[in-house]
Amino acid sequence: MDASLAGFVGGGLGLVIGAVAVAASRLSERTLTTIPPSAPPPLPAGVSDVLAVLRSIAIVLDSSDAVVNNSASAVSYGLVRHGELVHTELRQLARQVRRDGEIREVELELARGFGTTTNTLMKARVAPLGAPHILILAEDHTHARRVEEVRRDFVANVSHELKTPVGGIALLAEAVLDARDDPEAVSRFAARIQVESTRLTRLVKEIVDLSRLQVADTLHEPELVEIPRVVAEAVDRVRVAAEARQITLEAAVDQRASVFGDAELLATAVANLVSNAVNYSETGTRVAVAARRVGDTVEVTVSDQGQGIPATEQSRIFERFYRVDAARSRATGGTGLGLAIVKHVCATHGGDVSVWSEEGHGSTFTMRLPAASDRAAADSDRPAVGTAQGEQAR
């Protein structure tokens, strides 16, 4: 074979081998692209069922921090959005647990929702769930923290409020001892001791009443309460103080107005409103108490002709120990708890209380309570079958 023929045959073989190599390479690439990616390992059996019945917020992450399962509350609280964990703090905790396998418990203050300034106190527990997954359990402790803050404020306020009359009584008693040879001074100091002791008694009573209302979530055995009787009793409690200041008390009530609840608590609430109206009204003015039924609601209003309440103060007057005019409250024996008790009594009865006031034009407080239906009221007045039979047997 001559050299030219050999070269030609060698070149042809090279071309064939190159074509085969290219074809094999393309076939390999096509085969690789058609192989489906490995699916992530499934969750352990029963995990989804357990997460569905948990009261806690539950989130399960895979090895890439993607959410593979979560409870509905995780979305409503803004922890999960579009299948992703929203908060970086939780993601970092998950990575730490994945790295060392140790369970972690933390309290985090997290933003609730997108673009909101409302924060939620979350107590989170992060633990490994099998080899590739991480479980996050979270509970909302915001309400518990607020309750604890209210409790601390209440204790601090009570301590401060009790300190004033107790300290005053101690100083006045010392003054009486020093002035024992001066009958006029002793009489004057004794009168002041009586005023402070009366204030202390009232403060302790209102603290006990308010604490009892806060502990009780619902009324025990509510009874049919006729609002005209409640108004009459409340007005009677304040009548002496009103007459001493020449303030006229006027009452106009709808005899059909009745509710289910506690008559004593309702009388206390109305009496607190009337007492405030008398204490903050000028001599010779009028305080009006009205009760009427409006549809399914009973409204009790107390109106005075006093100085009124500044608009900036009206949102706070139902807070415990809050006083618009602290100096006048001390002069009248006010404790700052009367309106807080009214608010809690209304809430316990399923109602609310509101105020309208304008400086120089007096104030009107309105209690709104669910009315007792006519049929329910009639049934409550009707004797039981056993009782009626017993009466007939006699």
Mind listing the pLDDT tens digit for each residue in 144-160?
777 777 667 666 666 65
Q: What is the DSSP letter of 139?
A: E
pLDDT at 328: 47
pLDDT above 70 covers what percent of the chain?
68
Q: pTM of the predicted model, to two decimals?
A: 0.52
Q: Over 70: is that where the pLDDT of 215 sits?
A: no
Q: Per-residue pLDDT tens for 58-113?
A: 889 988 888 888 888 888 788 888 888 888 888 899 999 988 889 999 888 887 65
Burial status of residue 134 (CB atoms within 10 A of its CB: 0-12, 13-18, 19 or more): buried
| Mean pLDDT of the 193-220 span | 69
pLDDT-derived band of residue 292, with 50, 70 and 90 as boundaries?
Answer: very high
- Is the Cβ–Cβ distance between 345 and 266 less than 8 Å? yes
d(CA 289, CA 364): 10
CA torsion 195-320-347-123 (nearest 10°) is: -150
Instruction: Output the pLDDT for position 387.
Output: 37
The chain-wide mean pLDDT, for the chain, equals 77
pLDDT tier at 357, thresholds 50, 70, 90: confident
**pLDDT of res. 309:** 84
| H, E, C per residue of 209-270 | HHHHHHHCCCCCCCEEEEHHHHHHHHHHHHHHHHHHCCCEEEEEECCCCEEEECHHHHHHHH
Q: Locate 101 and state its tokens.
A: 């396998």
CA distance 345 to 341: 6
With cut-offs at 50, 70 and 90, classify the pLDDT of residue 233.
very high
Please check the confidence at residue 115 and state whether its pLDDT lies above 90.
no
Q: Is the pLDDT of residue 37 over 60?
A: no
What lies within 8 Å, CB to CB, of 103 at 6+ separation is 97, 125, 126, 127, 128
Confidence at residue 252, expressed as pLDDT on a 0 to 100 scale: 92
